[in-house]
A and B are shown apart, each in its own frame.
Chain A
Amino acid sequence: MSLTVDDVNKIAYLARLGIDAQDTESYAKDLSGMLDLVAQMSAVNTDDVTPMAHPLDQIQRLRPDQVSETNNREAFQAIAPQVEAGLYLVPKVIE
Chain B
Amino acid sequence: MHTKTIAQLAQGLRTGDYSSQELTEAYLARITQHQDLNSFITVTEHQAIAAAKQADAILAAGDAPFLTGVPIAHKDIFCTLGVKTSCGSKMLDKFISPYNATVVEKFNAAGAVSLGKLNMDEFAMGSSNETSFYGAVKNPWAIDCVPGGSSGGSAAAVAARLIPGATGTDTGGSIRQPAALCGITGLKPTYGRVSRYGMVAYASSLDQGGPMAQTAEDAALMLQAMAGFDPKDSTSVDCAVPDYSAGLNNSLAGLKIGLPKEFFDEALNSEMAATIEAAINEYKKMGAEITEVSMPNLKLAIPAYYVIAPAECSANLSRLDGVRYGHRCENPADLNDLYIRSRGEAFGTEVKRRILVGTYALSEGYYDAYYIKAQKIRRLISDDFNKALEQVDVIMGPVSPTPAFGIGEKTDDPIEMYLADIYTIAINLAGLPAMSIPAGFIDNKPVGLQIIGNYFDEAKLLNVAHQYQQVTDWHQQTPKGFE
A contact residues vs B (CB 8 Å cutoff) = 3, 8, 11-20, 23, 27, 30-31, 33-35, 37-42, 44, 46, 49-56, 58, 60-61, 63, 72, 75-76, 78-82, 88, 90-93
Contact = CB atoms under 8 A, between A and B. Distances in A.
A34 B306 contact: yes
26 contacts: A13-B340, A15-B355, A18-B340, A31-B353, A31-B357, A34-B353, A34-B414, A38-B307, A38-B370, A38-B374, A40-B303, A41-B303, A41-B304, A46-B376, A52-B382, A54-B191, A55-B191, A55-B430, A55-B431, A80-B325, A81-B323, A81-B326, A88-B323, A90-B323, A91-B332, A91-B333
B339 A11 contact: no
A82 to B, nearest CB: 7
Contacts of A63: 231
A37 B306 contact: yes
B380 A46 contact: yes
Contact of B303 (A27, A38, A55): A38
Contact of A17 (B191, B334, B343): B343
Contact of B98 (A27, A46, A78): A78
Contact of B345 (A18, A23, A50): A18
Contacts of B32: none
B335 A82 contact: no
A44 B376 CA distance: 10
A89 to B, nearest CB: 9
B96 A17 contact: no
B255 interface: no
Given A34-B415, A76-B324, A81-B323, A17 B347 contact: yes
A13 B190 CA distance: 37
A16 B339 contact: yes
A19 B325 CA distance: 21
B234 interface: yes
A94 to B, nearest CB: 11
A93 B356 contact: no
Interface size class of B (residues with CB under 8 A): 35 or more
Contact of A72 (B98, B323, B335, B345): B98
A30 B338 contact: no
Nearest to A78: B98
A12 B356 contact: yes
Interface string B306-334: 11001000100010011111101000111
B252 interface: no
A61 B235 CA distance: 8
Interface string B383-420: 00000000000000000000000000000001100100
Interface in B205-252: 205, 231, 234-235, 237
Contacts of A12: 356
A65 B332 CA distance: 39
B300 A40 contact: yes
Interface in B282-322: 297, 299-300, 302-304, 306-307, 310, 314, 318, 321-322
A39 B303 contact: yes
A91 B335 contact: yes
A41 B191 contact: no
Contacts of A3: 360
Contacts of A82: 328
A76 B326 CA distance: 12
B43 interface: no
